[in-house]
Amino acid sequence: MITRKMATGSGHVKVGDRESQTQKQRHLHQLIDVRKTVYFFTFTVFLSPLIYHSASRITVLPLPQLSNIFAFQPLLIAAKDNTDKLEAEDGRDLARILRESSMIENKTVIVVMMNQAWAEPNSTFDVFFEGFHAGEGTEKLLRHVVLVCLDDEAYSRCNHIHPRRCFLLKTTGVDFSGEKLYMAPDYLKMMWLRTEFLGSLLKLGYNFLFTDMDTIWLRDPFPRLLAEVDFQVAGDYYNFNGNSSDLRNGANGGFNFVVSNCRTIAFYSYWYASRLRFPGKNERVVLERIKQDNFVKEIGLTMRFLDPVYFGNFCQPGWDISKVCLMHGTCCSGKGNKVNDLRQVLEDWRNYMLAEASGKYGSRKLGFRRLKSCRRRRGRRH
């Protein structure tokens, strides 16, 4: 979602100097200390029944009873001056937004996060929205889109464009507004906050389709999701014989669909808690490390990788315009470059739709052109 510079294929941090690395770790340790209480609470409440029962492989476990929505603590850094009242209001707002935005049939919401840099006029936010209007059968999905705003500026722009669907996720002491460098301390916090927040939606009983904002929705992706799967995620490099259940596929956390049940709640708690075992790693790298863990097998979580034919991205060209539902601006550094190329995708799509409608294809074969601004480098994912 945020421009990630310096992305490397293996997801390792390129460390310039030792000092900044130490600082990063200190930052993270501070963070961890503050969160320990919440984490142990979560662990006790949500994981212990699973651990007790996993030996007998019970797949249906009672959902933890959340007496209220305030069980979700959005604060990464505990704020002394933050009153309970304020948090309570935030919680009610989220409850209202989720209730009004979700699909009635199945309590599903589409979630996207945004900060100030992305909310600027004529930037990522606008292109993302244009996509829904230009796409085939996607406009109707906008009412299910919940925008999670990370700062006041993003929140204000959101309320202007997409009223009653904006949630301000307050974090005291962290500035999420600027363009974040990939793997910088603030970037890491943002990614983990995202994992934590999405986990809390599951606890509230909502299924979610999370999407990065640098995506263009050209067709309704819901019919392409796999049935009866707990956790499905877009493939980064879908290369294991196109086998969607092969866990050796790389996951691209920028687009995933998760069903709320005891397995996914436990999985998100486990994923979030696992950041302590892998300090300085982002949520995607940690997912790669934990996806084959015994814990995940024991809770019986089903995980699948979505076919890039339908869930396309900039890393893997060779797109089929007649099939693609989604284009994700991965493998691209620089917000400007990304927005330019996402615009180009939209332009190509509109030409294709016009030709489809009129039946006049001429001599040209219509498809997506080569990207102009995003310089593709092998292994760069974001």
Ligand X SMILES: *[C@@H]1O[C@H](CO)[C@@H](O)[C@H](O)[C@H]1NC(C)=O
Nearer Cβ to ligand X, position 23 or 106? Answer: 106
We find the least distance from the C-beta atom of residue 64 to ligand X, in angstroms, to be 22
Nearer Cβ to ligand X, position 92 or 372? Answer: 372
d(CA 218, CA 320): 12
We find the least distance from the C-beta atom of residue 340 to ligand X, in angstroms, to be 6
Coil, strand, or helix at residue 149?
strand
We find the least distance from the C-beta atom of residue 3 to ligand X, in angstroms, to be 15
Q: Is 292 in the site for ligand X (CB under 6 A)?
A: no
Nearer Cβ to ligand X, position 70 or 222? Answer: 222
Name the segment binding ligand X (CB under 6 A); options: 41-49, 59-67, 92-100, 240-248: 240-248
We find the least distance from the C-beta atom of residue 289 to ligand X, in angstroms, to be 18
Q: Is 108 in the site for ligand X (CB under 6 A)?
A: yes
Coil, strand, or helix at residue 347?
helix
Nearer Cβ to ligand X, position 46 or 314? Answer: 314
Nearer Cβ to ligand X, position 30 or 243? Answer: 243
We find the least distance from the C-beta atom of residue 246 to ligand X, in angstroms, to be 4
Question: Applying CB under 6 A, what is the total number of residues that bind ligand X?
Answer: 12
Q: Torsion angle of alpha carbons 202, 205, 211, 213, nearest 10°?
A: -100
Q: Is 246 in the site for ligand X (CB under 6 A)?
A: yes
Contact with ligand X (CB under 6 A) among 39, 129, 222, 295? 222
Residue with tokens 């309320």: 159
Question: How is 11-47 classified by DSSP, letter by letter?
Answer: -----S-HHHHHHHHHHHHHHHHHHHHHHHHHIIIII
Nearer Cβ to ligand X, position 176 or 268? Answer: 268
Residues 18-57 that bind ligand X (CB under 6 A): none
Residue 147: closest CA among 197, 196, 106, 184: 197
Q: What is the Cα gyration radius of the chain?
A: 20
Nearer Cβ to ligand X, position 22 or 243? Answer: 243
We find the least distance from the C-beta atom of residue 144 to ligand X, in angstroms, to be 8
CA distances from 189 to 23, 48, 261, 289, 316 (A): 14, 26, 26, 19, 28
CB 109 within 8 A of CB 146: yes
Q: Is 106 in the site for ligand X (CB under 6 A)?
A: yes
Contact with ligand X (CB under 6 A) among 245, 323, 350, 372? 245
We find the least distance from the C-beta atom of residue 78 to ligand X, in angstroms, to be 36
We find the least distance from the C-beta atom of residue 79 to ligand X, in angstroms, to be 36
CB 109 within 8 A of CB 102: yes
Scored b (16 or more CB within 10 A) or e, 131-162 reads: bbebbeebeebeebbbbbbbbebbbebbeeeb
| Helices assigned H by DSSP within 204-299 | 262-273, 283-290, 294-299
d(CA 231, CA 250): 14
Q: Is 120 in the site for ligand X (CB under 6 A)?
A: no
CB 138 within 8 A of CB 215: no
Residues 321-380 that bind ligand X (CB under 6 A): 340
Contact with ligand X (CB under 6 A) among 103, 142, 276, 290? 103
d(CA 261, CA 152): 33
Name the segment binding ligand X (CB under 6 A); options: 91-99, 103-111, 319-327, 365-373: 103-111
Name the segment binding ligand X (CB under 6 A); options: 8-16, 238-246, 319-327, 371-379: 238-246
DSSP strand E in the chain: where? 108-114, 145-149, 166-168, 207-211, 215-217, 231-235, 251-258, 303-306, 311-313, 326-328
d(CA 73, CA 87): 8
Nearer Cβ to ligand X, position 246 or 293? Answer: 246
Name the segment binding ligand X (CB under 6 A); options: 83-91, 191-199, 237-245, 261-269: 237-245
Decide: residue 380, CB within 10 A, 0-12 exposed, 13-18 middle, 19+ buried.
buried
Q: Is 232 in the site for ligand X (CB under 6 A)?
A: no
**Residues at the contact surface with ligand X, assessed by CB under 6 A:** 103, 105-106, 108, 122, 222, 225, 241, 243, 245-246, 340
